[in-house]
Chain A
C-alpha cells in the first residue's frame, strides 16, 4: 500500500465508522424512551414539576413529534454542537464535560505510561528467564494484578500508602502540573496495576512464542549476534500482539478510570458519569457515551494503521497472515 493507498484506507475506515456511530447515537437517544416511566419523567428525574415545566420539556425535546423525527432533530442539534443542558445543574453539557475532562485524560495518560514503561520491559525480562524464579514471581504477581479489581486495589493502595504510610494525599486532585501529578500518583498506580499485569502477560507470552519460532533458531544457527536476534527477530515480531494489547487496554481504561475516580473521590468524567446515571441526567449521559464511542473508534483506527506499518503481510494482503 503506497501513501495514496493509506489515505484511502483511512477514509474507508472512517466511512465504515459512520453506520456504527449512527447505531450508537440511536441507542443513546432512545435511552430516554427505554427508561422506565415517560420520557418527560425520565428527563425530570425525581423532581416535581409544574405543567408549564413539563410542557417546556416536551417542547425542548420535540416529544410531540414522531419518534424518528425526534431522533433526526436531536442528531442535528448534536452535530451542530448543541448537546443540551444538564438537568441537574442546568449548565451546558459541553461546559460540564470540559471542566472535568482534563483530569480524566491526565489520569489515563499517566496510568498508560506507567503500564507501558514498566510492563513491557518486565514482560521481556520474564520471557528471557523463562521458568526461573524471577519468571515465576513475575507471572504470579501479574495473575494477581489481572484478577484484582481496580477499585479494591485502589482502596488498598489508599489505605497502605495514604493512611498508614502517609506518603500520598488521600483525596483531591491538586493544582498545577506537578501538584496534580503528585495527587494522582496513587490513583494512577492503582489503575496501572491491572493494565500493567495485562501488558506483562501479553508481552511475555508473545516473546516466548517468538523465541520458540523456527526462524529464530535458524538465525541463531547462522551465528547472528544476540543483539540482532533480540532486536530484529524477537522484539519486532512480538510487537503485534503487544499493540493489540495496548489498544484493548486504552479502551479498558474507561472502566478502570470510573472506578478509580470513585474510590479516590476525584472530580473527573468517571464520577460525572456515575452521578448523572444515578440522577438520570440523560443529556450528560448521552454526551459521555458519544464521546467514548468517538474515542474508541479513533483509537481502533490508529491501531489498524499501526498494524499495517509493522507487518508487511497486512500491508500487502497475503493469504499467509
Chain B
C-alpha cells in the first residue's frame, strides 16, 4: 500500500514537473515581453503564487472548482494545483536563466532575421536551461515533497496512505519513519533521473568537456 502511494507520488511529481516547466517557461518569456500587460500579468501570477501557501492554493482549486459545479477527481485537482504552483517558481528560475544568456547572442539571433519565437526556441532556451539546471532540479524535488500536501484533499499518495495506515494500526512512529525514508529514497531517485536527463540533453558538455 505504501508502494502504491509512492507510485502515485512519483506520477504526480512527474506530470506536474513537465507541465510546470512548460508553463514556467512561457511565463518567463511573458515577463521578458515588450507588451506591458503581458509582463504585468506574469509578474502578478508569480508574486501571488510565491507569497501564498500551497495548502491554501489547493483548497481554493479543490473547493472552488466544485462550488462552480466542476467536479474533478482529487488527483486531477492535485495535478492542476501542483502545476500552477511549480509553474510560478519555474518561471522565476527560467527568467534568471534567460537573463544569463549574453546580450550578443540575442543580437546575433536578431540579425539573422529569426523571429522572437525562433530566437527563444533555437538560440536561448537550451543554454538558459543548462545554466539554471541545478536550481530547476532542486525545485522539482521540492515539488515532489510538496505533493505530500495533496493528502489533505484525500489524494491517496504516500502521505495519505501512511496516515490511513497509522489510523488503523496505531503505530504512527514506525509508519512515518518508514515513509520518511521512502521520501528520502524518492528524492535520491529523482536526483539520479535528472542527472541522466542532463547527460542526454546537454551533449556539448559531455563531448567536449567545455564549461559554459
* A and B are interacting partners: no
Which residues of B approach A to under 8 Å, CB–CB? none
